[in-house]
Amino acid sequence: MSAANKTIAIDAMGGDHGVNSTVPGAALALKKSPDLKFIFFGDETAVTPLLTQHPELKAASTVHHTDKFIKSGEKPSSALRASKGSSMRLAIEAVQEGRADAVVSAGNTGALMAVAKIVLKMLPGIHRPAIASVFPTMDTDTIILDLGANVLVEAENLVQFAVLGSVFAKAHKGVDKPSVGLLNVGTEETKGPEHVKKAGAILSKIEFPGRYKGFVEGTDLTNGSVDVVVSDGYAGNIALKTAEGVGKVTGHYFKKFITGDPLSILGGILAFVALKRFKHKVDPRIYNGGVFLGLGGLCVKSHGGCDALAFSSAVNLAAELANHGYIERVARDINHLMEQESFLSIESY
């Protein structure tokens, strides 16, 4: 497949800042990947003036007008019922109909998942989708899933997540056989809840696109010891939000102390460039983008509060996976999983 000319469908109206982050965000992403094409779904009178400010983006884009969009506070079930013709649903349908290679939205997570499941459907053999994201670690990146599409799941689901995440890591990190760890409370085989222990036993036996490395702990989310960390959405979501919280409290105290006296302020000014580089390295905006995996098409959720830089990260992630041919590859690998005796023998559906 060709890596060039991938088209990204943009839900222009999603997120707290709507077009003010989605349009300049796409412009930033285009600078990084000049071959990209865009279709913006949303209010033409809001999108077009902003596109005019970014001539290169305008040349690479078409606008599909709709004045209907899903509100951030809406319940997934009612949002789904009323979703026909909305900017979010139209953008997802563009992927389903082959007019776009991926969709990016900063809208309501629950609604996006509900509509994406209905429109894009699950890949054959997959019973649970997962949300995956990239974490900054010591010297590399780690892919983590599930971050909250589900809560507690069965061992079978965790094994499928390992496949979904391994293909993600191949696309994002360019490694051939990504190392995969199962998130648990300790590394000994006897530790942990039943579904995690059972998944570990299956992963040791099956053939899949990654290398199973055993159980990992919370510290392994950020120390780069594995390429992929697999978890149920309960522990995964709590770990993700804990990490966000620690980042925030650290920044809070750091700012408080570094601005506490004149000498420290002067020191902070002298170290300005280093501090800026440090802030950039741990900037959550660079790592923005939760990818819905297990669906029949690529769908990336941007943080609702994203600015243009953060939105561009989500678009870049979508482009990266589209260029890699993620869906075709993962469909083949899931197929291969479903043919293996050691997976089927425990498959309980």
Among 244, 328, 332, 335, binds its own copies (CB under 8 A): 244
| Residue 245 makes contact with its own copies by CB under 8 A | yes
- Cβ atoms 125, 161 nearer than 8 A: no
For its own copies, the closer of residues 238 and 331 by Cβ is 238
Among 165, 209, 210, 233, binds its own copies (CB under 8 A): 233
Interatomic CA distance for residues 74 and 69, integer angstroms: 11
Residues in the chain: 349
Residues whose CB is less than 8 angstroms from the CB of residue 236 and which lie 6 or more positions away in sequence, other chains included = 144, 145, 146, 147, 148, 183
| Residue 287 makes contact with its own copies by CB under 8 A | no
**193-232 residues near its own copies, rule: CB under 8 A:** 193, 217-223, 231
| Residue 93 makes contact with its own copies by CB under 8 A | no
**4-43 residues near its own copies, rule: CB under 8 A:** none
For its own copies, the closer of residues 110 and 325 by Cβ is 110
Task: Give, rounded to a whole angstrom, the gap between the first and last alpha carbons of the chain.
Answer: 34
Among 4, 122, 152, 344, binds its own copies (CB under 8 A): 152
- Cβ atoms 101, 8 nearer than 8 A: yes
Determine if residue 15 is left, alpha or beta; phi over 0 gives left, psi from -120 to 50 gives alpha, anything else beta. left
The stretch among 7-15, 44-52, 148-156, 319-327 that binds its own copies (CB under 8 A) is 148-156
The stretch among 4-12, 36-44, 115-123, 239-247 that binds its own copies (CB under 8 A) is 239-247
In Å, how far are 32, 41, 153, 275, 278 from 269, measured between CA atoms?
A: 31, 44, 49, 9, 14
Among 82, 175, 206, 275, binds its own copies (CB under 8 A): 275
| Residue 78 makes contact with its own copies by CB under 8 A | no
Angle subtended at Cα 221 by Cα 166 and Cα 213, rounded to the nearest 5 degrees: 50
- Cβ atoms 123, 163 nearer than 8 A: no
- Cβ atoms 210, 162 nearer than 8 A: yes
| Residue 148 makes contact with its own copies by CB under 8 A | yes
Interatomic CA distance for residues 80 and 139, integer angstroms: 41
Q: Strand pairing of 130-136 and 102-105? A: unpaired
Among 183, 300, 315, 337, binds its own copies (CB under 8 A): 183
| Residue 137 makes contact with its own copies by CB under 8 A | yes
Among 278, 332, 335, 339, binds its own copies (CB under 8 A): 278
The stretch among 83-91, 159-167, 260-268, 335-343 that binds its own copies (CB under 8 A) is 260-268
Among 125, 136, 284, 305, binds its own copies (CB under 8 A): 136
Q: How many residues bind its own copies (CB under 8 A)?
A: 61
User: Tokens standing for 272?
Assistant: 């300005």
| Residue 179 makes contact with its own copies by CB under 8 A | no
- Cβ atoms 9, 98 nearer than 8 A: no
Return residues touching its own copies (CB under 8 A).
136-138, 148, 151-152, 183-186, 191-193, 217-223, 231, 233-235, 237-250, 252-254, 257-258, 260-261, 263-264, 266-275, 277-278, 281-282
